[in-house]
Amino acid sequence: MLSWAILFLVVAIVAAVLGFGGIAGTAVSIAKLIFVVALVLFAISALVHLLRGRA
C-alpha cells in the first residue's frame, strides 16, 4: 500500500513539473490519503501484535 502512495506522489511531481496543476493536486491528495491509511493499518497491526504477545 505504501508503494501506491509513493507512485501517486511521483505522478504528482511529474504532473507538477509538466504544468498539469489539477492532476498534480489530485495525485497529491490520493497519495496523502493512501499514506494515512497505511499508517493507521500499521498502528493497528502493531497494537494487535503487542496485545497478543508471543505465540
pLDDT-derived band at 55 (thresholds 50, 70, 90) equals low
Question: In the chain, how many domains are there?
Answer: 1
The CB-based long-range contact list for 38-45 (8 Å cut-off, 24+ gap) reads: 38/1, 38/2, 38/5, 41/1
Range of the domain at 39: 2-52
Say which residues have a Cβ less than 8 Å from residue 30's Cβ, sequence separation at least 6: 8
Q: Please name the amino acid found at residue 17.
A: V
For residues 16 and 55, give the distance between their C-alpha atoms in angstroms, rounded to a whole number.
49
| Span 7-31, pLDDT tens digits | 888 888 888 888 877 888 888 888 8
Full-model pTM: 0.68
